[in-house]
Amino acid sequence: MKKFGFILLFTYSFWAQAQNSVSIRFEPIYNQFRLEPNLIYPNLVDSIQFQELKFYIGHVQLYNDDSLVAIATHSHYLIDIHQNQTITLSIPNQASFNQLRFQLGVDSITSVSGALEGDLDPSLGMYWTWQSGYIHSKIEATVFGSNRNKTQFTYHLGGYQFPYNSLQTIQLGLVQTETIKIDVDIAAFLEHEEVLKQSVIMSPKPASLVLSQIFAHSFKVSQK
Amino acid sequence: MKSAKVFLMISVLIFLAAQKPISFWQKPSHFPKPIFDFKEKPLDSAKVFLGRLLFFDPILSKDNSISCASCHSPYNAFAHTDHPVSHGINDQIGNRNAPALFNLAWQKLFMWDGAINHIEVQSLAPISHPKEMNENINAVLEKLKKSNLYKSAFKKAFGDTIITSAKLLKAIAQFELTLVSANAKYDKVYLGKDTFTDQEKRGYILFKQHCNSCHQEPLFSSYEFETNGLKPDTTYNDYGRFLMSNNPMDSFKFKIPSLRNLAYTYPYMHDGRFKKLSEVLNHYTNDLKTSQKIAVQLKGGLQISGNDKADLLAFLNTLNDKTFVFNPAYQFPKELLQTNEGN
């Protein structure tokens, strides 16, 4: 009988510790279309083709109001339209959450920690070589105008030091599901008047900071 | 009797365990605490050796012609003697003097303008600079993966043959961190093992009076950034630290270099404009470009007479560390020759 009670207790504790997983996908979209490299997307007056679209998502956390429910395994994930990337978090069974918090970019402590591995490997094209620091978002696209003149956009956004610390903290309220899809609306970003003002940014500076803030507003929980 | 034996054995084991492991790197007793965290990232002899191979190997450059040592030669205290500014791939000329490499563990920021925040990511800059090695780090990794020498050296250093950029960068940094220069006559005098001549003593007093606030002993630099009154060179138009910070107060500020090993590292200044130390001293006494941003210590110029300059130079001569320059652990690794001969 004693033994049976022990097994029951063991089973219960196993059940109590059981975890559910939640997967999060960041999906760049362009006017409702899922963005893929080198396809040409129509626009109102012109069309656009993306060569690169990569960005760092860091410190992914699920919250229930103000209490922390789960933290992603890795500190940073590089989201790249050339690759499929799903971020998986384990949450305790029966735990609920109603908010997703994450950073767009690489925090300053990580930025001064030397040569790192994995998604933060400096060979992934997201590290400035002539000065230390990560490019947090790399957006390279060609716009074909109605007269077929090509315009190249090159935005390498980043900077971890004052006064150009471009790290963005994002909080999104959501309804609990096992899979969360975050739309990253690139069209809204590119059509912003501040973004239209310049076609090339390749270093930490005021414009990099402004565009990082605008880009952070492109992240929305998908309603589909 | 048996328990006494066991007790003895246990005490011997405890004694052995209490002995500190022989450290590959030791802080010179008269040096301050280094900035690099050796507890978090301890030096390892296999990583240091791999770093030394990489440091001397032109495989890092696009056409396999330029190594780190091309501009940072051990015989020049890892600077580039006789070259005002560095020469890179295809005989291209850069716009700054290759700095001497030593006592890097005490430095927070690297490069003349402090662009680099950690020694492990420093080598990415010269590897990818179009006028230096002009190579992509991924192409370097592909070349290394084909080499048996590197497969074996990476395995010894990191436990497997998977070659990554992080491992490569860490290894180069490990070798560079071993470059400690702390055995000049000055150091011996400091530690009571030698004495200054009268002239050197007079020079030391003058040094403390005129130089020590920026070139602080025992490292002989605060490694801060300052404007030292050089007239901007109109060819380079180099604004120094301003290019990194965008702060106008940083215009023409450059990293204060150490005064150690000056005999091996001429020419001087960020653009190598002075060949002789006497020219440097004359600059500070007679030739300062007065601007509001000049380092406060230099306002009005230094007041040093001709005789005093001779004494000061005699003292600076005691900062040359011959054992550092000729240390066999810092020289070209012969193993690289074997790979070039197809072994």
- Model pLDDT for residues A62-87, shown as the tens digit of each residue: 999 999 999 999 999 999 999 988 99
Q: In a mutagenesis test of the B interface, which of A127, A131, A202, A205 is the best target, namely the one with the most B β-carbons within 10 Å? A: A131
Per the listing, tokens 């000329």 go with: B93
pLDDT above 50 for B20: no
Residue B20 inside a domain? The answer is no
Number of structural domains chain A divides into? 1
Last residue of a domain, one of B132, B161, B180: B180
pLDDT bucket at B339, cuts 50 / 70 / 90: low
How many other C-beta atoms are found inside a 10 Å radius of the C-beta of residue A131? 20
Q: Which residue has the tokens 């609990």?
A: A176
Domain of A72, in residue numbers: 20-221
Q: How far does chain A reach from its first CA to its final CA, in angstroms?
A: 53
Question: Measured between CB atoms, does B276 come within 8 Å of chain A?
Answer: no
**Distance between CA A190 and CA A187 in Å, rounded?**
5
How are the residues of chain B apportioned to helix, strand and coil, as percentages rounded to the nearest 5? Answer: 45, 5, 50
Rounded to the nearest 10 degrees, how much is the dihedral formed by the CA atoms of B76, B78, B79, B81? 20
Range in A60-74, A107-121, B278-292 the model is least confident about: B278-292
Q: How many domains does chain B have?
A: 2
Judged by a CB distance cut-off of 8 A, whether residue B145 touches chain A is: no
Query: For B302-322, what is the mean pLDDT?
Result: 97
Instruction: Judge whether A3 lies within some domain.
Output: no
Quick one: B261 and B189 in the same domain? yes
Q: Is residue A180's pLDDT more than 80?
A: yes
State mean pLDDT over A115-144.
94
Residue A207 is given by DSSP the state H
Cβ within 8 Å, pair B121-A117: no
**Identity of the residue in B41, B118, B166 whose CB atom sits nearest the CB atom of A112:** B118
Same domain? B71 vs B196: no
> Does residue B96 sit within a domain?
yes
The β-bridge partners of A89 are: A22
* ipTM over cut 0.95: no
Residue A186 neighbours by CB distance under 10 Å: 23
B240, β-bridge pairs: B253
Residue B54 lies in a domain: yes
Residue A19: CB atoms within 10 Å: 12
Domain that holds residue B204: 185-323
pLDDT of residue B102: 98
User: Are both B238 and B293 inside the same structural domain?
Assistant: yes
d(CA B36, CA B38): 6
Determine the pLDDT at residue A47.
Answer: 85
CATH code at position B302: 1.10.760.10
Residues B238 and B175 in one domain: no
Say how far apart CA B325 and CA B331 lie, in whole Å: 9
Please tell me whether residues B49 and B157 are part of one structural domain.
yes
Q: Check residue A147 and give its pLDDT.
A: 59
The pLDDT value recorded for residue A7 is 54
In the DSSP assignment, the letter for residue B34 is -
CA–CA gap between residue A116 and residue A109 (Å, rounded): 12
> Is the pLDDT assigned to residue A13 strictly greater than 60?
no
B139 and B255 within one domain: no
Calculate mean pLDDT across residues A97-102.
97
**pLDDT value at position B55?**
98
Do B55 and B172 lie in a common domain?
yes
B193-217 mean pLDDT: 97
Closest partner CB to B115 (pick from A116, A131, A205): A131
Residues B218 and B309 in one domain: yes
- Say whether pLDDT at B232 is over 50: yes
Q: B153 and B203: one domain? A: no
What's the mean pLDDT in B32-40? 96
For residues B3 and B6, what is the distance between their CA atoms, to the nearest angstrom? 5
Query: How distant is the Cα of B20 from the closest Cα of chain A, in angstroms?
Result: 27
Residue A138 sits at the vertex; the CA angle it makes with A134 and A143, to the nearest 5 degrees, is 160
